[in-house]
Structure 1
């Protein structure tokens, strides 16, 4: 037996000694491999059992740098590299010993190794999914390459919370680049030199399934997922085209790319961020990036006060006589700054910076000079962005990235300033002693005296102005508007532009042109001094909360920017006046266009409106720092611009209601027909409440009529060949959601379509809307899809859901009540609520706190109790 067992060992060492022989699945210590030693196999020394992956001493791009790499054979794609920061030559070696794996250069110097192991190594395994594993004598895992990812994860691999992917410098240089994808317990985040520039939760294609804590990220045949509870709960998911081989990779360009391999080519599923101008170093330092995700962004030279750098990394440098200061190191401190040599170069209007969207200002309520002074004494600070209306000060630190040319920038957007040295070399900034100068004696005497005189004059002028202002306010009877509570509003984070009431009176011609009204007040058309057309909303009965409370909520709303949300441009909180200034939407609200007598909205336009509204809600629910529940989704709050771009308005305003209005929330808002059943019970209000309302809006887009409007049932049943629909009754009235449910059960979707479309829509298109809508209006909130999933279904990237008929039976109850003649009498809705509550044995929700509807809704409140 002893001589028999000795034979394989002898043969193994003979095989090792022969150049160019590749092994399958296992190799055993002691073992060595180099590219030169396995040159006939292009450095390959080990293959997985199925031949899908190989391990090789690989040189990317035909360079002279070699790395121990795991390679997907069919695509020749490297999914992992060991010595990425210490490349070796063709004669450098990988060594497998009982202590682990190690790599040494041509001179035998170690450059990389596995960490100390708990027991001796018995074998090195390359398994079927591309994981390189060190095994002990009991086939237990001692070390795995999957636990030390580089820039890629593959099917079967998990990226744990707290770990990250690090991009390569280039496609042929595997050393670590400047970009990282970091996984947190709730999101996946892209960073450049520690500065965030993208979040997975921002993407409309990434929909949130639960509020559980994420534990790891994984990619499988059909999706990219953040998973919790040991992989049993999906936290965030992105659906992919089914494929047997998918990878998620952080590209050297800074984009996070998900792609699949099919046949003989790669198919790119997603590449984030979609707008390359949002990649921090896309155009080099201070390089100007123009364009958008849809127009192929380009590096269009430099800002007007800069010129193209001749250095290898490109970018821009300031024009003479300015130069950029060198970045300080950790040993420098603020006392070393030579502020007398500093200046700030303005970038100009219409320019922004990637980090502004992802960082909080370091100071609020300060002036420009204070913001720049703060930067001047911090050696890591290289520039500032300053928002005048709120006094917000953002610092640009450590290294300057590209500048984004933003053609849609508003007058209230932050302005950028780059720190520069005046008439001095960059080294003077880090060595202030080298820049000392001798001043004339006269200057030493005159300068202090001149400064004192100027300060005295300035103090006198300010005192006179304050006295005049105070006298004027007494005459006007408006001293209360200068209370400390109002002045504090200037120091609230992210506050948008503040208008005086008199300014808005002039802009609206004393509130002359009424363009809308609703539960929160009237809306007037206005024109600002810069000719910008705006919509000014006068908030009525705002309650007794202080100006600071009001401004705090406005700061939250004002900081929300999305293509499908109406932008808040400013506000007024003076005395008893509360006004909001919005961008003007020239086509008005959806209800006027959809239910009016004007030109019919074509089906594609209805799809665009539905998608825009869904994307806006998805952003409010999962794309903001704080979850925002709209609470009043209806056609009146969906505004339209040219080309039927839809934008949600009035989001977040429910928190501005007075307590009296809160208790009458459902009737005061005039939203009968859009209210989810949970409003009528003690069930928690969540984002699924908005989903219900959105489903009702979808049905109205299908029919071109209000769900609760009075329509003779025979008009809807003439074409039926069977029995009468359960949605009709002898009274001749029809509740459209119930009629839609009946037609869905019979697959008669075209009978639901707005007759004005005259056949210009297919059955499949209507079915999509109806099925999505019925999924949204299910009685049980947990059964309703989230808004990210709804976006996917409308776009076609996610299969349509199948509504649960048991959860839609409540529509039959509402339909029966709808047909009662007493519906037209005042108070009928209140009686119906009582009947509904009694039939379902739910306690009455006597007071609805609208503050639950804004943000700050905990996961416990959202998920229960029922």
Structure 2
């Protein structure tokens, strides 16, 4: 061996020792990292942090925390639950330059996940895995100075010490959200949270409440006395002027160290106990009954409490995705074995022997207010909406009225008018809404196509549309944190439509009027009447011009083929309005008529974006977020669609997981800013 090779071997051994030294550690410091099979071990040996996968044949890996002494891999917390990495040897969990704990995918040289905490520039941080399963990012010198902790950002598991709270100031609940399926920790459809009136609730799609614990009586939830056991754990409720929260503690850590609440993929909240002698998890209780979970078996699925699998397809239908069903994800439901005969031809075409109703015995419809016993359709389209008397708004295709189901669930009923155009929009909207399912997309309850009536029924959004809060002089002004959260939610919804649906869906009419806000100001993209479905085998489509002036991408005007980045342009124009609180077409300065997007593009290149912020906020905004939002907006409104980012990249930029460089002034605005 040559001297040079001997030296290299010596250096590699030192590096190897330095890396391996982190195996037995409970912390990551600024000069340490975690990669490959390396792990953190809590001081008492209860918990491990490292890379894991629930499918040994999968190339999707996640950073998570799991029990050390439980033989069955049971993650209790997942960092990058929506963004797995494919090569753990090229993935690095480390302390980034800004002091945050971050996961870096070196194969694409891109951050995947970060604690995203605000940390003083003069602070040195350390990440410590505690023996209660809490991952803490704190000051390296002052251990009491905590910047971020996993207990404040739970995923699907409620461990002893975690607070499930309702913030009375922000009106936001901390949620426990299920996995997508038994192998995929991405956000699922079911969540657990608290209401302001101290009730614990389970929700489908973060909107529909399908189970409630009843109020707290000082010791237990009145509807669920078995949720607390005097032999295992104690549930505690705390109510202050700022928040109300529930937490629980174990009565005996030595004999029952592993007890947890799980928001299961089944939609049930379960309490589970690890039984060492049996080497398995034992269920203590589950709520509600499986078939009471909203939409558990999906469209055209039937639930049976006596069946081990619970879900099956009704006669004439088969599983939409057997692979998903095998992973206990039944949300896709079932599809027809043979398509319905056409309704567009003569009467004989659609009155054939092949289509008929089939009688089903021993079944009932969900007891969730979806059905009404009424004499006829007119008495029903009138009872629910009080004869369409409570108008919420109107547009070119009809009106929207507020209504209520028999169980008092508030709904919004969209009545389409103008038969020819309305029929086209109705079919497009029903077709699109039937294929999508995301927390940031509006969900509809049903529709009617009886005679000339064309109605769409949606969940009611109590905070109305985004434009009413930005432009119409509401007494309450949206603060910056809420605006940024709304922008991020819209971006995630569009990312889902463009990149994660079975078919790519181009919305074609993104604007503040089509963004609805729920009770917690979570955004829901609405109005899919102009949407265009694009098969995954196609990259673009030629279609007639659609959308709203002021948000139209240049390719609509020039007649070029349309791609999902037409929505990106509209999103960028709307993001500028979210930032400024004004219509882009409004006058910006008294000295002349300035087109706001052009002015914004110049200010972004000059790095002087503070003047773009809504005056009503009086400068109260996170400047780092403001810079990111302004830069992202100006990247989105580039004249050439190839220069615009995808919505997936927009999401990562807004999440702070990707650097956002200063964009050039869009070519379509350069003539406006030459002087």
Please state which band the TM-score falls in when normalised by the shorter chain: 0.5 to 0.7
Matched, 1:145 2:20: yes
**CA 1:142 to 1:615, structure 2 compared with 1: closer, same or farther past 3 Å?**
closer
Q: From 492, 508, 526, give the equivalent of 1:650.
A: 526
Q: 2:410 — aligned with what?
A: 533
Q: Which has the higher helix share?
A: 1
Task: State the TM-score, normalizing by the size of structure 2.
Answer: 0.56
Match of 1:739 among 599, 602, 608: 599
Instruction: Report the CA distance between 1:224 and its aligned residue.
Output: 3.4
C-alpha distance in 2 between matches for 1:362 and 1:642: 27
Counterpart secondary structure, 1:373 = coil
Picking from 634, 645, 662, the partner of 1:803 is 662
CA deviation profile, 1:701-746 (whole Å, cap 9, x unmatched)? 455542235x5xxx8253xxxxxxxxx6xxxx54222234456678
What's the offset of the Cα at 1:529?
0.8
CA RMSD across the alignment: 6.2
Counterpart of 2:103 in 1: which secondary structure? strand
CA contact (8 A) 2:510 2:567 kept: yes
Distance 1:737 1:533, change over 3 A: same
Residue 789, structure 1, aligned to residue 653, structure 2: yes
Judged with a 3 Å threshold, the aligned counterparts in structure 2 of structure 1 residues 396 and 703 are, in CA distance, closer, same or farther, namely closer
Partner residue in 1 for 2:206: none
Structure 2 unaligned runs (5+)?
A: 1-8, 54-58, 167-172, 176-193, 201-215, 233-251, 262-271, 311-323, 332-349, 361-365, 417-421
Q: 2:629 aligns with which of 772, 780, 792?
A: 772
Aligned to 1:633: 510
Q: Does the C-alpha gap of structure 1 residues 588 and 767 become closer, same or farther in structure 2, counting only changes over 3 Å?
A: same
- Secondary structure at the residue paired with 1:612? helix
1:182, 1:191 within 8 Å by CA — same for their partners in 2? Answer: no
CA distance in 2, matches of 1:197, 1:621: 30
In structure 2, the residue matched to 1:556 is 436
Alignment of structure 1 residues 21-420 onto 2, 5 Å = 141=16, 145-146=20-21, 148=23, 152-160=27-35, 163=37, 165=39, 168=42, 171=43, 173-174=44-45, 176-177=46-47, 182=52, 185=60, 187-190=62-65, 194=73, 198-201=77-80, 215-220=90-95, 221-222=97-98, 223-230=100-107, 232-239=109-116, 241=119, 246-261=125-140, 263-265=141-143, 267-272=145-150, 274=152, 278-282=156-160, 292-293=173-174, 301=220, 303-305=224-226, 308-311=229-232, 312=252, 313=256, 347=287, 367-368=302-303, 370-374=304-308
Pair 1:699–1:264, CA change in 2 (3 A): closer
Between stretches 216-225 and 577-586, larger displacement belongs to 577-586
**Corresponding residue of 1:612:** 485
Aligned to 2:181: none
1:716 counterpart = 2:589: yes
Q: 1:569–1:581: 8 Å Cα contact kept in structure 2?
A: yes
Counterpart Cα distance in 1 of 2:381 and 2:308? 34
Deviation by residue 1:510-559 (Cα, 9 ceiling, x = unmatched): 54544234577643211111122211235744589899x948x53632xx
CA distance in 1, matches of 2:392, 2:469: 14
CA spacing shift, 1:808–1:316, aligned 2, 3 Å: closer
The superposition leaves residues 18-69 of structure 1 with CA deviations (integer Å, 9 ceiling, x where unpaired) of xxxxxxxxxxxxxxxxxxxxxxxxxxxxxxxxxxxxxxxxxxxxxxxxxxxx
Q: Could you say which structure has the larger radius of gyration?
A: 1
Is the 8 Å Cα contact of residues 101 and 114 (structure 2) preserved in structure 1?
yes
Distance change >3 Å, CA 269–CA 310, structure 1 → 2: same
Partners in 1 of 2:486 and 2:358 — Cα distance?
35
1:744-789 Cα shifts (integer Å, max 9, x gaps): 678887876778x5xx724988997577335422312249972343
The yes-or-no answer on 1:812 pairing with 2:675 is: no
Instruction: Work out the CA distance in 2 between the residues paired with 1:586 and 1:544.
Output: 24
Change (3 A) 1:701 1:159: closer
Gaps of 5+ in 1: 1-133, 318-323, 333-342, 377-392, 398-412, 414-477, 489-493, 719-727, 817-866
2: CA distance between counterparts of 1:217 and 1:595? 45
2:573 alignment partner, SS class: helix
Matches of 1:545 and 1:348, distance apart in 2:
36
CA distance in 2, matches of 1:516, 1:259: 49
